[in-house]
Amino acid sequence: MKAVMLIPGPDGGRIEVQDAPQPTPGPRDVLIKVKATAINRGEVAGRRGLKTGDPVISGIELAGEVAGVGAGLDGGATDFKVGDRV
């Protein structure tokens, strides 16, 4: 999968699109195939303060489609299924 990565660095870091491993949804997780995303102001502001550490996947604002669901999401108000638009 492709991921927008916030790469820390002494100069404020940088933003890159990189290949990342496809996650597997854990219990009560929903895997979303992202159709559109944005890097919000908070992510950019937070990136400026990062000096060291691992890259972080960006994209807390998104629209997409449920691609997988973990155990524990069947029934009730948390009933997501593959194909649901979110």
Is this prediction's pTM over 0.85? no
Q: From first to last of the 86 residues of the chain, give the pLDDT tens digit.
A: 999 888 877 776 788 899 999 999 888 889 999 999 887 777 766 666 655 567 777 778 899 999 998 887 665 556 788 999 99
Q: Mapped to the 3 state alphabet, what secondary structure does the chain carry?
A: CEEEEEECCCCCCEEEEEECCCCCCCCCCEEEEEEEEECCHHHHHHHHCCCCCCCEECCCEEEEEEEEECCCCCCHHHCCCCCCEC
